[in-house]
Amino acid sequence: MKYEEFYDFVVKVHSIAKIGLTFSKDPYALENYKELQNISKEMIEKFMDVKFDRPSMFTRDIYPTPNMSVRTMIVNDKDEVLLVKESNSNTWSLPGGWCDLFDSPKEAAFNEVSQEAGVDPEITRLIGILNRTPYKNQKNVPEYVIVFEGNIDHKKFHEHTHETNDVKFFPLKDLPELSRKMTREEILRLIDAYYNKETIFD
C-alpha cells in the first residue's frame, strides 16, 4: 500500500469513528468507535507527524467553516420528483446528506441517492448551491448545500439503508410534508431552476 493510500485509509477510519461517537446510542458500538478513534489517532500521530494538540482537520477547534451537504433532484416524465421518507421523522426530502471525506461533490451525491433511494443515479448537472443557514435552528452549524440534477433507470432499484423507510415520486405541485433538511421554499426555488435550466447560488 502506498503512503497516500495508507493516509487516506487511516483518515477515513478516524472520520468513521468520530461520526459513530457523535450519532450512535449503542454502548457497545460506542466502545468500538472509541477504540477505533484511539488506534487511528495513534497511527496518524506516529506515522504522519500530525499532532492532535494543534489545529488540524482532526480537531474541532480549527477555523470554523460551514458544513457541506449534497442533494439530488430527480424528476420523471410525469413531472414528479423523487423524495425519500426519513425514518427518524417520517417526513420527506430530496435524497442527500453530508459529504464524506475524499468524495467529490458528484460522488457524494451519487452515494447518497444510492443509499437512501436504493437506485444508482446518473448525476447530470449542477442546479445550485444554497445557503441553508437561514432555514436552520440557530443551534446548528451553518450549512451550504450543493444540489444536482439526476436521472435514474427505474429497473435498477435495490435495497436502501435504515435512514429511509420509503421512496416515492410526488407531483411537483403536490408535495408531502417535508423534513427540516429541505424546506418547501428551497425546493420551490430548485424546481424553478430545474425547469429554467438555470444554475442558482446564494
DSSP state of 95: S
User: Do residue 89 and residue 154 come from a single domain?
Assistant: yes
Q: Which residue has the higher pLDDT, 52 or 109?
A: 109
- Same domain, yes or no: 191 and 91: yes
Same-domain pairing of 19 and 108: no
Q: How many domains does the chain have?
A: 2
CATH of the domain at 82: 3.90.79.10
Least confident of 64-68, 106-110, 120-124, 177-181: 64-68
pLDDT tens-digit readout, 122-135: 999 999 999 987 76
Report yes or no: 93 and 84 within 8 Å, Cβ to Cβ: yes
CA torsion sign for 145, 146, 152, 158 is: negative
What pLDDT score was predicted for residue 66? 81
Query: pTM here?
Result: 0.73
157 and 119 housed in the same domain: yes
Domain co-membership, 124 together with 169:
yes
Q: Are 66 and 146 in contact (CB under 8 A)?
A: no
Q: What is the pLDDT of residue 135?
A: 65
Split at pLDDT 50, 70, 90, the class of 78 is: very high
Query: From the CB of residue 26, how many other CB atoms can be counted at a distance below 10 Å?
Result: 10
Domain range holding 12? 3-48
Could you tell me what percent of the chain has a pLDDT over 90?
Answer: 45
If asked whether residues 71 and 39 sit together in one domain, one would say no
DSSP secondary structure string for all residues of 26-78: -HHHHHHHHHHHHHHHHHHHHHH---TTSSSTTSSSS----EEEEEEE-B-TT
| Same-domain pairing of 125 and 79 | yes
What pLDDT was estimated at residue 6?
Answer: 77
Name which of 7, 14, 60 is nearest 34 in CA terms: 14
